[in-house]
Amino acid sequence: MVHSSLIDGPAPAVRDKNLTELEYLAVSSPLNFADGHARQNLTPSQMQIIDDLPRLFRECVQTPVNELERRAISSYFTLLGQQGFPTGDKRVLSCYSSSVAMEIVARALITEVSSLMLLHPTFDNSPDILRGVGMKLVPLAEDQLHGDDLDPALLASVGALFVTTPNNPTGRVVSRDRLRALAGQCARHGKVLVLDTSFRGFDTRAHYDHYQVLEASGCRWMVIEDTGKIWPTLDLKVGWIVTSADLGLPVPKIYSDILLGVSPFVLNLIGRFAADAAAGGLAALHRFIAENRETVRCALAGIPGVRFPDPTNRGSVERIGLGTRSCLEVWQATRDRRVYVLPCQQFYWADPPVGGNSLRIALARPASSLALAVGELRSVLLAA
């Protein structure tokens, strides 16, 4: 049994923290399986890029930043099947991260709409950023998102639809047909469709050309892309805001309040990592994540009550259903063993208790440390 002092001990404090605050507790720990950042080892060809950093730096001094940006965008978007990305003036804006991109998107949205429909569950910084600018949120359950047409009355009651695909933590992907239907419904109802595709790098099912579908739909749209999840570049990354030509929201203006642009060094680095990924690195990453997922599932198989609620997930995180165990108790017990994971309550931003019996574990980690962590988690679960 997890010792009972935990029940009225740290649990309430943990419940009040957001997921990033819980990730922060883990950030300097060698057994950090909390955040979704890419912390696996560099591959040999990635190490060669790192050995080449001085030359990458000097290249930036000699190359116009617009050119480095154009190359980074082109190589990253096409790597992930997004050939139809727009190339017009200010249609793709480079940000320090996907969350900075989301803050700008939220600030732009709130100038026109006061409420939106947001996927449920999803990582809690999406609802927190949106609420932070004053947005009212209506939860959209995943089964509804992937089912038939959205309730017209519900859609009519909001100004926009915000969807994370692949979703975090469930890994569910909006298919091409489903995106076409959603964008069509948004077009007919005059709603803005916002996609956060930060985790798409891991899942080829999200590599169909979203921009082709969006451009054909006639709806107003924004997409947030992110290089920050797939490569162990020590959080040297870019988040992009991509917008429809007819969006009519002050995205470039608000962008210019926050930044002039991102580092040309980071853009150059991303171009190099994307080229390496196109030459086989991306497929190797997919195999690596699949093997780590298998490590988790095998090690925990057969423990009473434990299950994996996202069997088709290919993302770099895995949810673990705990049966009747409380995720906060298991979280605390694994933390006592210096292993950090995430409780899932906070992903259910509109109804936290629904997530009260599952954990999320990060897979973009060295295989050896993952095996160690899962061994500890297994011990905790067997005792609980």
CB of 247 to a copy of itself, least distance (A): 17
Q: CB nearer to a copy of itself: give 181 or 350.
A: 350
- What DSSP element (H or E) covers 196? strand 192-196
- Options 174-182, 257-265, 297-305, 323-331: segment touching a copy of itself (CB under 8 A): 257-265
Instruction: Kindly state the tokens that stand for 257.
Output: 């309040």
Longest Cα–Cα distance in the chain: 63
Angle at 367 between CA 365 and CA 370, to 5 degrees: 70
Instruction: Kindly state the tokens that stand for 207.
Output: 């590599």
β-partners of residue 317 are 362
How distant, in Å, are the alpha carbons of 50, 95, 106, 338, 368 from that of 200? 24, 18, 21, 30, 25
Binding-residue pattern over the window 265 to 304 for a copy of itself, x denoting contact by CB under 8 A: xx--------------------------------------
162 sits near a copy of itself (criterion: CB under 8 A): no
Site for a copy of itself in 92-151 (CB under 8 A): 96-97, 99-100, 103, 107, 125, 128-129, 132-133
Query: How far out from the chain centre does Cα 55 lie?
Result: 31
Contact by Cβ (8 Å): 313, 289? no
Query: Cα–Cα distance between 179 and 151 in angstroms, integer?
Result: 16
Q: CB nearer to a copy of itself: give 33 or 211.
A: 33
12 sits near a copy of itself (criterion: CB under 8 A): no
Query: Cα–Cα distance between 49 and 275 in angstroms, integer?
Result: 11
The single residue among 2, 6, 14, 23 that binds a copy of itself, judged by CB under 8 A, is 23
Instruction: Kindly state the tokens that stand for 218.
Output: 């006639």
Query: Cα–Cα distance between 72 and 309 in angstroms, integer?
Result: 36
CB of 124 to a copy of itself, least distance (A): 9
The single residue among 9, 81, 261, 352 that binds a copy of itself, judged by CB under 8 A, is 261
CB of 97 to a copy of itself, least distance (A): 6
Residue among 173, 165, 162, 172 nearest 139 (CA): 162
CB of 235 to a copy of itself, least distance (A): 4
236 sits near a copy of itself (criterion: CB under 8 A): yes
Site for a copy of itself in 59-98 (CB under 8 A): 60-61, 64-67, 96-97
Q: Which residues bind a copy of itself (CB under 8 A)?
A: 18, 20-21, 23-24, 27-28, 35, 37, 50-54, 57-58, 60-61, 64-67, 96-97, 99-100, 103, 107, 125, 128-129, 132-133, 233-237, 252-254, 256-266
